[in-house]
Amino acid sequence: MTIGQQLKKTRLLFGLTQEEMSAGIVSKSFYSRVERDKNAITINKLIAMLNANNISLNDFFRTFDNEGLPELKVQRKIYTAYNERNIIELHQIEKSLSSKNDVLFYKTKLIIATLEYRSIEIPDSICKQLKPNLIDHDLNDQDFWDLAIGVSLYKFNELTLLMNYIIDHFSKLNLDNPQVTISLMNLLIAYLDRSKSICQKLKRL
């Protein structure tokens, strides 16, 4: 069970609406996407939301199914290794994930390929899951790990549109959240690397 599923389960258990559960900590639309596992929520905002509804963290996790936790831990390891450019660690994660989780497996392979400046084939079904749709999303507490990892999956004009969208909505970003800041920095690096690669190709024409 994921955090989003557990939030919904807890909300229904306490007879709360989504608006009541979000408690003004996040917007109702953002919270709705959290329940549907479309957005992630920071632990600080999760705790604030639970506190606002007089729900203890212990009560929240008491019936929590640990099925989703290992995946979250692995994902965090992937992001940390990516940020540290630790290719050895990423290869180890890749081996441990083989045939266990297609999305995380290909996400790791894609990071390794990007850091090693080579391309790989990604199944279309996985590509769709690795390409987040930020347009029309509430960027509050939105991190950019998947976009940073998936830079090579976009056409450059698509990527530029996404970058412009982020810049236009920069004031909405929660830069107090380290995951937002670090993932955004990695996205900018990946975008600049992609731009540099295109410029080099144009020079050779």
Tokens describing residue 3: 């955090």
CATH topology (fold) of 3-64: 434 Repressor (Amino-terminal Domain) (1.10.260)
Contact indicator for 146, 130 with CB cutoff of 8 Å: yes
Mean pLDDT over residues 104-111, rounded? Answer: 92
pLDDT, tens digit (0-9, with 9 covering 90-100), for 145-163 = 888 999 999 999 999 998 9
Going from N- to C-terminal start, the domains of the chain cover 3-64, 69-204
Contact 18, 30 (CB under 8 A): no
Question: Residue 116 has which token pair?
Answer: 């090693």
Helices 102-115 and 69-83 pack at an angle, to 10 degrees, of: 0
Among the listed residues 127, 142, 134, 144, the one whose alpha carbon sits nearest the alpha carbon of residue 188: 144
Whether the predicted pLDDT of 204 surpasses 60 = yes
55-78 pLDDT tens trace: 777 667 765 555 555 676 788 789
Q: Report phi then psi at 61, rounded to 5.
A: -90, -5
